[in-house]
Amino acid sequence: MERKLGKATRDAYGEALVEIGRTNPEVVVLDADLSKSTKSVLFSEKFPERFFNVGIQEANLAGVAAGLASCGKIPFISSFASFLVSKGFDQFRMGVAFSELNVKVVGSHGGITVGEDGASQMSIEDIALMSSLPGFVVMVPCDEISTRALVLETVKHNGPVYIRTSRPKAPMVHKVSTDFKIGKGVRLREGKDLTILANGFEVFEALEAAERLAEDGISASVIDMHTVKPLDADLILEDAKRTGHVLVAEEHQIWGGLGSAVATFLGKKHPCKMGFVAIQDTFAESGKGEELLEKYGLTCPHIIKAANKILGR
């Protein structure tokens, strides 16, 4: 499968913010001194009166956003996911989730593909933490098209949202015409032997794996499960019943992410053979993003190996 690189999802986020800012005067944007990296700087250049840099204090960033939301504003807050989620978690728990406020949280530089910056900058637990908060929507888009569409959708949703974006340029997966809705996965390929659910960079890897599996006579569905919470229960159940084998691929710690959510759901609704491609209870070292994906078992060959295992091949 041809790997055509588009923009980084963080770039698409920044561009979507500007688009939202033009049409919705209630939207305000805050950052923790990393706007050039998160790309919220694009909003600051167009709407400086609605942009606030709180400095390197992520917990305060979350608290200020809660205050603005309680006054009727729609705050989008950004920083590196590893800092924003870990340092702001108590404020997200009590100030945003418990208070049921309309705060949009965007964790940039997600996963291990942040690369050379090392383990301290890598968020491998952000999806688990944010999914644990009652009322939060949690999403991981895979390319610039899905990121833009899902950021626009968050404005329509009244409630807290967490979106993870990434540092490197992302392979193009979707067409501009694709319809994106919160909580609704996108089927990219239909199969009868195996279902692969993926998000983020793993969507392209899953598509590539499905093509190679087809050469061996294995028909695999591929679904972009961009929303981890709430899950698209109907789509997952439909595919699991048809194929009887479900493989989940994600750039996240194996505990508490998309795989855990899908396993919990199917364990209750339709137990079947499952496999999981994820970071295996370890921190990653510093290195190039593509090399780290390979080392920690998140590339196409590893998805193929996991697929063959659950299929008993």
**Residues noted as catalytic:** 58
CA pair distance 48, 107, nearest whole angstrom: 21
CA pair distance 238, 195, nearest whole angstrom: 10
Q: Which residue has the tokens 């944007």?
A: 29
How far does CA 8 lie from the centroid of its chain?
A: 13
DSSP helix/strand/coil, 95? helix
Distant-in-sequence, close-in-space partners of 283: CB < 8 Å, separation ≥ 6: 119, 122, 124
CA pair distance 235, 194, nearest whole angstrom: 14
Please, are residues 42 and 17 in contact by the beta-carbon 8 Å criterion? yes
Report H helices in the chain: 9-23, 35-38, 41-46, 58-70, 81-91, 126-131, 144-156, 202-215, 233-243, 258-269, 289-295, 300-310
Please, are residues 124 and 96 in contact by the beta-carbon 8 Å criterion? no
DSSP helix/strand/coil, 269? helix
CA pair distance 7, 55, nearest whole angstrom: 27
Which residue, among 164, 206, 170, 212, has the nearest Cα to 189 in the 3D structure? 206
Q: Are strands 104-108 and 161-164 parallel, antiparallel or unpaired?
A: parallel
How far does CA 69 lie from the centroid of its chain?
A: 23
How far does CA 145 lie from the centroid of its chain?
A: 13
